[in-house]
Amino acid sequence: MTDCVFCKIISGNIPVKKISESEKSIAFLDAFPLAKGHVLVIPKNHHAKIQDLSKEENSDLFSLMHDVVSKVDALTGATLIAVHNGKDAGQEIPHVHVHLVPRDSSDSAGAIHSMFHGTVSLSDSEIDEIRKKLV
């Protein structure tokens, strides 16, 4: 896609501080880091959501992420691994990307539950209906 910032990175039109690269994916420092060492891992082909990736692209992406996360983790001893899968999930750039964000107890980011205003109460029948849709 010509207007996708990540596609421009892949094509070399936008320079990045590359960390690592594989056949189908690339890892680089985030231009707008949430913490020192914030890395993005993206597929080289444009796909908006994880389920749009081929199995080979998915495997390559998460294999590269697996290789890079221990390096990121070594910075502080803890790493948030996050994927926003779609606009309503908070995805700002519609190109699959995995965030590797070094964390420590002083960053005040909190746990995933702190992103939401509470939990959802569901009846047993609602839980059963959801499960039926997922299996």
pLDDT in tens, 88-119: 999 999 999 999 999 998 888 888 888 888 88
Please give the order of strands across the beta sheet that includes 18-21. 18-21, 25-29, 39-43, 98-102, 79-82
What's the number of domains the chain is made of?
1
Q: What is the rounded CA–CA span in Å between residue 41 and residue 98?
A: 5
Q: How far is CA 128 from CA 120, 124, 132, in A?
A: 15, 6, 6
pLDDT on residue 53:
98
| Domain containing residue 94: CATH number | 3.30.428.10
Q: Which domain, by its residues, includes 43? A: 5-134
pTM given for the model: 0.92
Instruction: List residues with catalytic annotation.
Output: 97
Q: What is the rounded CA–CA span in Å between residue 47 and residue 39?
A: 19
Angle at 37 between CA 105 and CA 82, to 5 degrees: 70
Q: Is the pLDDT of residue 1 over 70?
A: no
